[in-house]
Structure 1
Amino acid sequence: MDTAQGESVSGRAVLVALESYEAGTVWDLDGPVRDVLAYRAWLLDLGLAPDAVTVLASPLPKNRARFEEAGVRWRPADRESVHRVLFRELAATESDWLCVAWSGHGLVDLDGHRRLVYADAVPGDLRSLDLEAALAAFRSDVAPGHPRQLWLVDACQTFADAASAADALRPDPVPRGRLRAVREQRVLFACGPGETTANRAREDEAGASGASGASGASGASGAFSAAVLDLLRTHPEWRHDTARLGEKVRERFRADVARESPAAAPMSLWFEDAGNTIRTEVRRSGVRRRLDLADHRRLHDALAAVPVMQDPGMRAAVIGHLPLELCASVPRSPVMRLEILDLIRTCLVFENGLGHLRDAVALLDAGTLPRDDLDRVLQDYPEWLTEV
């Protein structure tokens, strides 16, 4: 595989772009299609044959044309299709080097396993790839033909709440095999456990439309994917050296923070290489002020006064209209005060968390005076109203 760029090589790749979910538009992402097309272009420049690159996707309607313009054939990114590609088709092939890149929603389940959400997921059935099980399968005799692997995961790793996700996060039927003694499998994650990823605006499109709230900017792409690709284009040999690649990605994001653009950088990066796990800090979460009990009481009282938050069904609907990673992290309780306090605490963990909450309430509230009061209170907490 260590041949000159542009020469035909024995490599294979699976690229996954999840933008649209069966759950509805509240889970929409705008950016994974761009990430996957950029990965594909790099892999073809590297020397992979077009038929050695499999694309699985659930594009937003407006982004389907991007595949057509690039002449890319793609297959659905639902559970059945992903399993068929990974554990039947790919497992039966051989390569000198395998690249798997995934861009979409993700979370951490109750057993601490990272999950990557399929296109056919809904709130009551969070169909998702058990990534730990998939990585183990590709270190075993389930897929013995890929001795060198690079997995690039641009997805959040927020913790799923036990009460709200226990019944929705079912086991993922990944095949199990006998682990092999020698396996070069390197994995890079866009963030560490408990954290969210970040987007950055593309220079050629950002000015055209501006920010678009929860779904990301129209010209956004994954900050992690963009940084990794920039470095791999210049140093293709780093695909076999994640320690070096990870160090340079971290340096790039730290430079973004130094330039006062922290929204484009994750909190930390996570790498797994030859059995070693490395978490590298990019920026500290302590830059936000620490809220005291009076702040939490003020936020609670303003939120609890809004009529849609007083009815359990409507309150559940508000939570359900939050972005997936935020929604799945909210502890649920039949006690209104406890659920609202837990909702606030969860929103304070996320970038633009209170902004997402404000938008979800506004979507279901008919325009009441208490909601106007809530908006005024939220304006006093700008750190959690950052549009990303």
Structure 2
Amino acid sequence: MTPPSRTSVVVVGVESYEAGPDWDLDGPAEDARRFADWFLERDVPPERVSVLVSPLERNAAVWEQRPHPVHPADQATVHRELLRRIAGEDGELLWVVWGGHGVVDAAGHRRVFCADAVSDDRVNLDLDEALAFFRSNAVSAFRRQIWLVDACQSLPDVRRTRRRLPHSAFPAGSPTAGHDQAALFAVRAGERALNLSGERTGLFSREVLRLLADADPGLWPPDVNALYASLRHTFADLRARGLARQTPIHLWSRGWDGSEGQLLATGTPAAPAPARPSNAAVRAVAEALLAVPEWRSPAARQEMIGLVRGDIGLWAVVPEQPTPRLTAIAVVRTCLRYAGAPQELVEAARLCAGDAPEVKALSQAVDALLMSG
């Protein structure tokens, strides 16, 4: 078990942006305070808890006397903390928590905006590059990492944007299997993360903090797989009651149990695919996949495929075909090459389409496929 004394924390909460009041959020700074307090309660040393915050003026007083370092959340400070201080620090476990505005760029990278972003110079942190950097050989410490991101993954509106997103690259490192990195995002690509201004909290942050408060105090760090499973059930219930539209997702580079890929389901080990599945069974799965409404949208289809087997990058292995049907067939046949991938395809459909009847039919078709041959 990693001791709290060997844990380092970076918490970022951006409420006020140089872009002006249209960008204001009332909640990320208060969430940052709550997260920082939780780490202190779990005996993480105050000097190893760094908070970068840009609060609204009415929320600034609480930051005047804190037991841990407090810094502004501008881009220069964000990069200095992550690239210089944290990357060079000695430790076993790293937590990074971010709350604020975010988007997905044209390349599919998740970006979160820094406090000095303005409309024509939306300075940001490329989360995908940051995650790759911290799981590379450029960072010798922090073999275990947990990243929590409560930010939108909206697609930028090109009609209202005069310039492309600026890019400040992280140094390149070589991939290594020595880092176990889990990342929980409040939403999937194209969705908006709900901020509850009346409660001064993000919905995702509120639920994460609630679950962390109930976690076993004798276990450090908390079981991130159990945390995600609880979040998944919580948000499924909130969506069913019309209280949320967002779907949290969980990615990892190498699971702490030794598995690789993306956590979409838990339970018994996946059964291997049949050596020679029947064409009829493959066709049945492809037809069931075509029936899922989200499959008809190119963007949603790409998101669904991207959720399967994050270790191999299924979307890179199976490029978009001329028709949705051909894409479905290619995806099914490719999934059969990787143990567990057909089941992950069902879970990806469930994440994107919920518990629709079409998803149940897809699950049944996949079960039949795995029993054929």
Q: TM-score range by the shorter chain?
A: 0.5 to 0.7
SS in 2 for 1:188: strand
2:235 equivalent in structure 1: 253
2:207 equivalent in structure 1: 227
SS in 2 for 1:185: strand
Q: Is the 8 A contact 2:239 2:245 kept in 1?
A: no
1:9 equivalent in structure 2: 5
Equivalent residue letter for 1:277: Q
- Name structure 1 gaps, 5 residues minimum: 201-215, 281-285, 287-388
Q: Distance in 2 between matches of 1:88 and 1:44?
A: 23
Q: Distance in 2 between matches of 1:199 and 1:126?
A: 20
RMSD value, Cα = 2.1
Q: Which moved more, 1:105-114 or 1:267-276?
A: 267-276
Question: For residues 180-195 of structure 1, what are the structure 2 equivalents within 5 Å?
Answer: 180-195=176-191
Matched, 1:277 2:262: yes
Q: CA deviation at 1:59?
A: 0.7
- Which deviations, in whole Å up to 9, do the C-alpha atoms of 1:7-32 show, x marking residues without a partner? x5211000000000000000000001
SS in 1 for 2:64: helix
Change (3 A) 1:187 1:70: same
2:94 equivalent in structure 1: 98
Q: Distance in 2 between matches of 1:229 and 1:192?
A: 20
Question: For residues 44-55 of structure 1, what are the structure 2 equivalents within 5 Å?
Answer: 44-55=40-51
Change (3 A) 1:239 1:268: farther
Q: Is the 8 A contact 2:137 2:174 kept in 1?
A: yes
Identity across matched positions, percent: 38
Q: How many residues align?
A: 258
Q: Distance in 2 between matches of 1:164 and 1:278?
A: 36
Question: For residues 15-164 of structure 1, what are the structure 2 equivalents within 5 Å?
Answer: 15-68=11-64, 70-71=66-67, 73-162=69-158, 164=160
1:299 equivalent in structure 2: none
SS in 2 for 1:144: coil
Q: Is the 8 A contact 1:191 1:266 kept in 2?
A: no
Q: Distance in 2 between matches of 1:161 and 1:43?
A: 37
Q: Which moved more, 1:165-174 or 1:32-41?
A: 165-174
Q: CA deviation at 1:74?
A: 1.5
Q: Distance in 2 between matches of 1:266 and 1:149?
A: 28
- Which deviations, in whole Å up to 9, do the C-alpha atoms of 1:130-156 show, x marking residues without a partner? 100000110112222110000000000
Q: Distance in 2 between matches of 1:91 and 1:172?
A: 17
Q: Distance in 2 between matches of 1:257 and 1:239?
A: 29
Equivalent residue letter for 2:105: D
Q: Which moved more, 1:220-229 or 1:84-93?
A: 220-229
Q: Which moved more, 1:8-17 or 1:241-250?
A: 241-250
What TM-score does the superposition give when structure 2 sets the normalisation length?
0.65
- Name structure 2 gaps, 5 residues minimum: 255-259, 266-292, 294-373
2:223 pairs with 218, 241, 247, which one? Answer: 241
What TM-score does the superposition give when structure 1 sets the normalisation length?
0.62
Q: Distance in 2 between matches of 1:77 and 1:186?
A: 23
